[in-house]
């Protein structure tokens, strides 16, 4: 088998984010990480299939200051937006949380995402991360999903050309992958890993995590929040 392609992955961090929104999918994606402990552990397992791609990940924020999430431990960025201003990432991942309504994201964060999205091969969001994308006009004319508890507000405050899908763990429209609330990022992360790294490798990664991944339309929460 040929050597795996290495894709650059930028995870966007900001104060008020939800840790699980990015850590859920990253636990899966880092099984194919070039420098992560999870990647080293997974590759050491006997008989494991090789991934078709590997990920070189940076955790990005306005500065190197610790990021305070909605809950849990603070996160440390590896690079600032200004330090990677000339770099085009292959993949960007935007978690949800507080400060995601239109106009709330900082100027630096908004400008970085707007600068990266057009050239990225894939743009991923989890929970209200899609609210950030929508507020920047990046989801106009596309299908997407988001956090169920904020679904109606998000639909009202974003461009009417966006088709918000209420019953979906995740939605794919071209290079945009949008996940529903919080833990849906794990399901989306598994499907994304399966799509670009290969089904056999992704299955091993899922089993290492002991994850019961669901299908895109296996979504009980649309009914819970009276969206269907």
Model pTM score: 0.96
Cα dihedral 106→112→115→121 (10° resolution)? -120
Task: Kindly list the distances between the CA atom of residue 137 and the CA atoms of 151, 192, 228, in Å, as whole numbers in the listed order.
Answer: 17, 23, 26
Q: How far is it, in rounded angstroms, from Cα 146 to Cα 193? A: 20
Write down the domain spans for the chain: 5-224
Q: Does domain 5-224 correspond to CATH entry 2.60.120.10?
A: no
Residue 194, helix vs strand vs coil: helix
Distance of CA 33 to the CA centre of its chain: 15
**Residue the block writes with tokens 């990266």:** 116
Residue 180, helix vs strand vs coil: coil
For residue 75, the cross-strand partners are: 67
pLDDT score recorded for residue 140: 99
Residues 6 or more apart in contact with residue 106 via CB below 8 angstroms:
14, 62, 99
pLDDT score recorded for residue 48: 87
Q: In what order do the strands lie in the sheet with 91-94?
A: 79-80, 53-61, 5-12, 91-94, 122-125, 176-179, 170-173
pLDDT tens for the chain, 228 residues long, are 568 999 999 999 999 999 999 999 999 999 999 999 988 988 888 888 999 999 999 999 999 999 999 999 999 999 999 999 999 999 999 999 999 999 999 999 999 999 999 999 999 999 999 999 999 999 999 999 999 999 999 999 999 999 999 999 999 999 999 999 999 999 999 999 999 999 999 999 999 999 999 999 999 999 999 998
Cβ contact 207:47 at 8 Å? no
Q: How many CA atoms does the CB half-sphere of 174 hold within 13 Å?
A: 11
């Amino acid at each position: 088998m040929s050597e795996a392609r290495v894709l650059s992955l930028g995870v966007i961090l900001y104060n008020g984010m939800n840790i699980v929104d990015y850590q859920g999918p990253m636990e899966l994606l880092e099984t194919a990480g070039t420098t992560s402990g999870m990647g080293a552990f997974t590759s050491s397992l006997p008989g494991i299939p090789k991934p078709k791609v590997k990920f070189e990940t940076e955790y990005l924020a306005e500065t190197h200051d610790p990021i305070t999430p909605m809950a849990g431990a603070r996160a440390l960025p590896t690079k600032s937006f200004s330090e990677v201003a000339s770099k085009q990432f292959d993949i960007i991942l935007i978690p949800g949380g507080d400060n995601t309504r239109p106009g709330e994201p900082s100027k630096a964060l908004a400008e970085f995402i707007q600068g990266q999205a057009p050239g990225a091969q894939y743009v991923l969001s989890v929970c209200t991360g899609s609210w950030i994308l929508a507020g920047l006009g990046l989801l106009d004319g596309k299908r997407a999903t988001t956090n169920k508890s904020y679904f109606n507000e998000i639909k009202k405050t974003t461009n009417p050309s966006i088709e918000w899908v209420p019953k979906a763990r995740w939605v794919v429209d071209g290079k945009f992958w949008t996940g529903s609330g919080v833990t849906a990022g794990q399901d989306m992360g598994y499907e994304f890993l399966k799509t670009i790294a290969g089904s056999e490798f992704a299955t091993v990664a899922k089993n290492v995590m002991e994850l019961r991944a669901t299908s895109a339309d296996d979504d009980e929460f649309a009914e819970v929040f009276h969206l269907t």
